[in-house]
Chains A and B, each alone.
Chain A
């Protein structure tokens, strides 16, 4: 099932809980109850978008289990599958779903597919320098700015007046994006560019915070990253779907309802052999992440927490 489909259905069922009171963790989520005897090295390799979050989770996890040693590395989602396959990491955080090719490579080694956990919700933001007068864009305009294929049917846009900022006539745009290892790059390419290709002059930055910093320091800049990285130096834009419709802000409700076009899940992949119990440390970490405490960190880091229903669903799948 696709993200927007799941989100739509869960949004309706939990609308009474989360729809009104934004950015409160779903009270139905269970608190985490620590057990004993958890030890080992917790290694995570993958997404840069999830890097801060993984670090926060690991820190709080270590606070509960002092003999756990965490090692968190976040260079981009594409680094997660090779690390999981090689067995050098137990957790592979990714900001996009694994590709078939990556799943195939994993399956070729282990005989089963990697286990996918949805750990948070993100509204991928398109943002500009804070002094830019623009407030909203359509996905077609986003495609015109970033792509060389214009798959939404727009016309190339290289200056700010081309997307309706008449006050900035003649001013060129400076586009910033992520490096290709990033899941944000892949997701943006898939959804905002409709699987098209980036223009070759989109400057690749090695991390989400680098994109935000670059746009904050370039008055003509425009870039994208997960909502957790947005700072006061930049302005996140409201986005409208390509096929027409109202521009909506990247808020929790809009992401849950599927109205915000760049809403997505953030994932953590683990190596779980079917029918076999998980390593206790891995299992406890997953339980922690999907608990009220873990989801509260999601909120603190600027992303959107899961609903209780989604968390329960995943814990149940883990038991299979």
Chain B
């Protein structure tokens, strides 16, 4: 082998070197790309939350013989599959149309025995509530049902059935019912009718029902009592409505008043008179309808102003300062976009809080909770009626010629939108707009509350309490072990701390929930004493140590001082633990929980931020400690020696030379700890009550973004609003850590720049 060859690098080495350079570069870029792809994927899932509704091209079913405009349909609707719309004419006949065959019509006469003078289509129950010209309430079920052929194909059939016929207010002879309302639930049924005609003053009547028990079969419903409510109504009644819970009658007057009549068994009391447009020059109301759940009414004014009023219990401050709650009444909770004119048609969806409203030829789809307009368009013809398919996938519009227009509707996330996710929303039953998270309910008329704000707040709250506990301990421990402690102990302590970091957080969460939470709950004054006494005693020892005579201090080798301190601290903890109950009885009237609640007005929970802070602090202490300790140890020995040689004390050297030099590393340690705390999931899931509250009280819990995703993702139907909202939470979490890390990196670079010279 020649001398030259010995000194030239082998081709293989060069090749491997070149390959590895490229390989690592590709790997690095791939990691960055993967992270971005994940982010793009999550964002793509969350994005549809911010889209409005889309309405497709209409299918027109022109009017056919037999359903002439002359006998203008009184009501119309559609089956839940959207295949067979119907029209009800004044004679009480039902005309079933086919969505696919515009010419086809099947007419069924349910033999009502009188003309139809008023009708309400309750699509959620597939029920027509009819008021007749001879003063009867007729309940007619459309009887839509799917029939399956042997090959699995489906056909929709309709067998309308009259399920009840009850005379109302016929004490002085039959009068036509010009407005009707009906509601039923498990407990009972209630009907209300406005009797008009023959130039006499209109009367409002209510009919209560009871369900009789029968042996061996379903109980039949019988009329209990007829009540004349006319005297309770303010103004000239023009419309009556009954809520789905059968517990109230709402009467609209010509003058613009709403009378809210509450029913308790067989007793009717007027609970409220309200004039919703009292502030406008003309207070009359042009339309009033319930949205799903019958807790909110949407009121239209002839000018096009639209407002929502909801039932809630308003807190009132008594003269003596205490807060009392009024009975539930209707108060304004929002205002919708203005319509071009009075509402001519209205229909509330049967599966969410949306409603469709028409004015002239304008059709608008709005959401009752967020008050957002989901879609609005001009159909080019005057709209006589509108209905939303009960699956919220179709709009049916009736024109003046009794023709039907079927419009496909695509609005998968009506309850979403920027305002619903981040703004304060006035939910039903609440006395003010709030940020709230309650994503799921057991019924269809449940109003999802999907605010991200309490979750972001909870994430920050948990992080801050954890940092408050972890940062002082971890940083001081790092400084102590690297600067003051004898190096031989460092070899034991550092690996121990690192093992601590290896503890799975689910174990910590389990301990927190079953052990720590109860321990803290039982001995909270002891814990508070310890939190005060231990640092105080530690500092006192430090001060006292410095004043000890030199000949005593030299007995303890430098770096071994901790062995003087530890026994004292152990005794302090024991003392704090024992005096806790005494402190509780002296300072906190014997019961800290009651004392805290009564003196601060804040709540006290067993699963609180203190528990989370301690346990999460426990999880992040090792991380902060290890990185900070590394940074401190990496400060060149020469700097320390220089400082000490110039007469600086150990403390001065540590605080003025070592810590500033290592500040970039310490800062990184804090930020990595912070990032870990923000994303921590299991400890929070298990140790808190996951309560989505918005206050900083240390003695109650929180709901964090990550805990929220962990608990709710299994229940979220893929592609649904909740599913996408959880992904939005993930994006926010991602953005939070991204922001923190960016800020941290910038700060770190600047610190490094500043101390580069040393």
Q: Which residue from B219, B351, B449, B591 sits with its C-beta under 8 Å from A101?
A: B351
Please name all residues of chain B whose beta carbon is closer than 8 Å to the beta carbon of A99 when the two chains form the complex.
442-444
Q: Are A8 and B438 in contact, with the CB atoms below 8 A? A: no
* Min distance, Cβ B2 to any Cβ of chain A, angstroms: 70
B403 contacts chain A at the CB level, 8 A cutoff: no
A105 contacts chain B at the CB level, 8 A cutoff: yes
Mark B606-648 against chain A: 1 for CB-CB distance below 8 A, else 0: 1100000000000000000000000000000000000000000
* Min distance, Cβ A255 to any Cβ of chain B, angstroms: 15
- In B413-443, the 8 Å CB interface with A consists of 427-430, 436-443
Q: Interface of B with A (CB < 8 Å)?
A: 80, 124, 146, 148, 150, 152, 154, 186-187, 211, 213-219, 245, 264-265, 293, 312-313, 324-325, 327-328, 350-351, 390-391, 427-430, 436-447, 449, 454, 514, 517-518, 521, 591, 593-594, 597-598, 603-607, 685, 688-693, 700-701, 711-712, 714-718
Please name all residues of chain A whose beta carbon is closer than 8 Å to the beta carbon of B514 when the two chains form the complex.
213, 217
| Contact of A5 with B218 at beta-carbon distance under 8 Å, contacts A200-B693, A203-B688 already known | yes
Q: Can you report 21 residue pairs joining A to B where beta carbons are below 8 Å apart?
A: A12-B215, A78-B715, A79-B715, A82-B716, A100-B444, A149-B313, A155-B324, A171-B594, A179-B690, A185-B442, A186-B441, A195-B293, A197-B427, A197-B449, A200-B454, A201-B701, A203-B701, A214-B606, A218-B518, A275-B148, A276-B152
Q: Are B442 and A187 in contact, with the CB atoms below 8 A? A: yes
A1 contacts chain B at the CB level, 8 A cutoff: yes
Cα(A148)–Cα(B245), bound, Å: 19
Q: Which residue from A82, A159, A183 sits with its C-beta under 8 Å from B442?
A: A183
Please name all residues of chain B whose beta carbon is closer than 8 Å to the beta carbon of A8 when the two chains form the complex.
213, 219
Q: Are A197 and B597 in contact, with the CB atoms below 8 A? A: no
**Chain B's interface: helix, strand, loop or mixed, by majority?**
loop
* Min distance, Cβ A92 to any Cβ of chain B, angstroms: 12
Q: Which residue from A76, A155, A203, A206 sits with its C-beta under 8 Å from B605?
A: A203
Please name all residues of chain B whose beta carbon is closer than 8 Å to the beta carbon of A187 when the two chains form the complex.
442
| Contact of A12 with B148 at beta-carbon distance under 8 Å, contacts A172-B604, A203-B688 already known | no
Please name all residues of chain A whose beta carbon is closer than 8 Å to the beta carbon of B219 when the two chains form the complex.
5, 8-9
- In A133-148, the 8 Å CB interface with B consists of 148
A83 and chain B: residue at smallest CB distance: B714
* Min distance, Cβ A218 to any Cβ of chain B, angstroms: 5
Q: Are B217 and A9 in contact, with the CB atoms below 8 A? A: yes
A167 contacts chain B at the CB level, 8 A cutoff: no
Q: Are B605 and A9 in contact, with the CB atoms below 8 A? A: no
Please name all residues of chain B whose beta carbon is closer than 8 Å to the beta carbon of A276 when the two chains form the complex.
152
Q: Which residue from B148, B313, B604, B605 sits with its C-beta under 8 Å from A150?
A: B313
Q: Are A100 and B313 in contact, with the CB atoms below 8 A? A: no
Mark A204-221 against chain B: 1 for CB-CB distance below 8 A, else 0: 111000000110011011
Cα(A12)–Cα(B152), bound, Å: 40
Please name all residues of chain B whose beta carbon is closer than 8 Å to the beta carbon of A159 when the two chains form the complex.
597
* Min distance, Cβ A310 to any Cβ of chain B, angstroms: 13
Please name all residues of chain B whose beta carbon is closer than 8 Å to the beta carbon of A150 when the two chains form the complex.
313, 325, 328, 429
Report, nearest first, the 7 A-B pairs whose CB atoms are least far apart: A186-B442, A203-B689, A149-B429, A181-B715, A78-B715, A180-B440, A204-B690
A66 contacts chain B at the CB level, 8 A cutoff: no
A13 and chain B: residue at smallest CB distance: B216
A130 contacts chain B at the CB level, 8 A cutoff: no
Q: Are B154 and A111 in contact, with the CB atoms below 8 A? A: yes
Please name all residues of chain B whose beta carbon is closer than 8 Å to the beta carbon of A205 when the two chains form the complex.
689
A104 and chain B: residue at smallest CB distance: B391
A62 contacts chain B at the CB level, 8 A cutoff: no
Determine which residue in B390, B685, B711 has the highest number of CB atoms from chain A within 10 A of its CB, and name it. B711
Cα(A94)–Cα(B438), bound, Å: 20
Q: Are B442 and A149 in contact, with the CB atoms below 8 A? A: no
Please name all residues of chain B whose beta carbon is closer than 8 Å to the beta carbon of A180 when the two chains form the complex.
438-441, 712, 715
A29 contacts chain B at the CB level, 8 A cutoff: no
| Contact of A206 with B685 at beta-carbon distance under 8 Å, contacts A9-B218, A99-B444 already known | yes
Cα(A84)–Cα(B89), bound, Å: 42
A283 contacts chain B at the CB level, 8 A cutoff: no
Q: Are B449 and A75 in contact, with the CB atoms below 8 A? A: no
* Min distance, Cβ A220 to any Cβ of chain B, angstroms: 7
* Min distance, Cβ A212 to any Cβ of chain B, angstroms: 13
Q: Are A189 and B442 in contact, with the CB atoms below 8 A? A: yes
Please name all residues of chain A whose beta carbon is closer than 8 Å to the beta carbon of B712 when the two chains form the complex.
179-181
Q: Which residue from A149, A190, A202 sits with its C-beta under 8 Å from B691?
A: A202
- In A8-24, the 8 Å CB interface with B consists of 8-9, 12-13
A8 and chain B: residue at smallest CB distance: B213
Q: Are A171 and B443 in contact, with the CB atoms below 8 A? A: no
A156 contacts chain B at the CB level, 8 A cutoff: yes
Q: Are B718 and A82 in contact, with the CB atoms below 8 A? A: yes
Determine which residue in B390, B603, B689, B712 has the highest number of CB atoms from chain A within 10 A of its CB, and name it. B689
Please name all residues of chain A whose beta carbon is closer than 8 Å to the beta carbon of B325 when the two chains form the complex.
150, 155-156
A302 contacts chain B at the CB level, 8 A cutoff: no
A291 contacts chain B at the CB level, 8 A cutoff: no
